[in-house]
Copies of this chain bind each other. A is one copy, B any other.
Amino acid sequence: MKNVKYNFGSDYIEGCHPSILNKMQQTNLTQQTGYGEDDYSIEAKNIIRKAINNHDAAIHFVAGGTLANLIVASACLRPHEAIIAPNSGHINTHEAGAIESVGYKILPIDTDDGKIVVSDIRQVLDNHNLGPHVVKPRMVYISNSTELGTVYNRSELKMIYDFCKENNLILFVDGARLGAAISANGDKLRMEDMAEFTDVFYIGGTKNGALLGEAIVINNKALQQDFDFFIKQKGGLISKGRTIGIQFLVLFADDLFYKLANHANSMTKIMVDAFTNRGVKFFVDSKTNQIFPILPNLLIEELMRDYGFYIWKKYDDNSSIIRIVCSWATPKEAVDEFVSDVINKL
């Protein structure tokens, strides 16, 4: 990696919260059953069931988000059923065709801020009434927070969920950055709302302080049957399941998960406030750990010598949108220095 003052490129740039490694060391030589039947995985699942207030949820840990997405699709859908998703949805853009690879068509909805609403979904349904010539829309996929850092709050989620239930659609929420969404929403979205207003969702560990791991939560009992076969078949069942189990055990043991998300969000908030004060505009209004300021190209070029981040896309001839991500581990000092460098050079 290029030597920089700090890399704001993503939230997977550091390792994991030290408590996780400590727990791994304490338990390392204990003998444990494999394939997710270890004591730590079992305990972690129980804690999560409590956290979401759904004692009947089936919970499965897998290593990453793409794996979670393709396993959920494969377990929940028949081959002629399709997935409605925002065009910016991770499954539609950055998973190298994983969903199509397991056989499903994605029906994308145009959106600027990464979010969709009920009328968008209804439109797709209206356009797909010529079965069997067209696919049958059956799942709605959204991300919270989205790939653009925006969030769905409780009432937005509920409206989509209610529409899904009226229309025999499965609602699946990609929660790779769910911690950021909950933290940003304050009391307008709580973890238990995810259990109440989704059929399936997952809780992202990798981007919120874990080494790896996403916790797939299946609330809809009809979708729980034989789910473990899909994890195995798609290569997601790791033999030392303890490795992921411990991540979630530590993250959820004393609200560490929320603390880490709060930290990441608060770091970007410092930037948003400072930049806004100086008149910097943003591509979208994000309260999470991903922000998209619009900066002059010359400044961007200069900043790239000292910091890691991505150019999202061209804004106009003189400026571009960049993506800045803070993580659970981002030091306030790095944020302050970055802000100061930006402000000074504007």
Knowing A30-B14, A31-B6 are in contact, say whether A80-B229 is a contact too (CB < 8 A).
yes
Q: Is A10 an interface residue (CB 8 A)?
A: yes
Taking CB atoms and an 8 Å cut-off, the chain A residues in 222-237 that contact chain B are 226, 228-237
Q: Which residues of B contact A239 (CB under 8 A)?
A: 10, 12, 64, 206-207, 212
Knowing A28-B15, A226-B136 are in contact, say whether A101-B98 is a contact too (CB < 8 A).
no
Q: Which residues of B contact A308 (CB under 8 A)?
A: 31
Do residues A79 and B211 form an inter-chain contact, with CB atoms below 8 A?
Answer: no
Do residues A236 and B238 form an inter-chain contact, with CB atoms below 8 A?
Answer: no
Q: Is A278 an interface residue (CB 8 A)?
A: no
A-B contact pairs, 7 of them (CB 8 A): A7-B31, A10-B239, A12-B34, A15-B27, A64-B238, A206-B238, A212-B243
Do residues B234 and A234 form an inter-chain contact, with CB atoms below 8 A?
Answer: yes
Binding-face segment, A17-25, A115-123, A293-301: A17-25
Q: Is A279 an interface residue (CB 8 A)?
A: no
From A25, which residue of chain B is reached at the shortest CB distance?
A: B21
Knowing A63-B238, A233-B97 are in contact, say whether A28-B18 is a contact too (CB < 8 A).
yes
Contact of A14 among B25, B31, B232, B329 (CB under 8 A): B31
Question: Shortest Cβ distance from A59 into chain B, in angstroms?
Answer: 15
Contact of A228 among B13, B132, B240 (CB under 8 A): B132
Question: Shortest Cβ distance from A336 into chain B, in angstroms?
Answer: 17
Do residues B79 and A74 form an inter-chain contact, with CB atoms below 8 A?
Answer: yes
Knowing A95-B133, A96-B134, A226-B132 are in contact, say whether A28-B16 is a contact too (CB < 8 A).
yes
Q: Given the complex of chains A and B, what is the CA–CA distance between A226 and B235 in angstroms?
A: 20
Q: Is A104 an interface residue (CB 8 A)?
A: yes
Q: Which residues of B contact A29 (CB under 8 A)?
A: 14-15, 329
Question: Shortest Cβ distance from A249 into chain B, in angstroms?
Answer: 14
Q: Is A186 an interface residue (CB 8 A)?
A: no
Knowing A235-B98, A235-B236 are in contact, say whether A13-B31 is a contact too (CB < 8 A).
yes
**What is the 8 Å Cβ interface bit string for chain A, positions 230-270, against chain B (1 contact, 0 not)?**
11111111111011000000000000000000000000000
Contact of A134 among B14, B21, B94, B237 (CB under 8 A): B94
Q: Which residues of B contact A103 (CB under 8 A)?
A: 97, 100-103
Q: Is A66 an interface residue (CB 8 A)?
A: yes
Q: Is A273 an interface residue (CB 8 A)?
A: no
Taking CB atoms and an 8 Å cut-off, the chain A residues in 305-342 that contact chain B are 308, 329
Do residues A28 and B39 form an inter-chain contact, with CB atoms below 8 A?
Answer: no
Taking CB atoms and an 8 Å cut-off, the chain A residues in 190-239 that contact chain B are 206-207, 211-212, 226, 228-239
Do residues A96 and B133 form an inter-chain contact, with CB atoms below 8 A?
Answer: yes
Contact of A10 among B34, B62, B105 (CB under 8 A): B34
Do residues A15 and B24 form an inter-chain contact, with CB atoms below 8 A?
Answer: yes
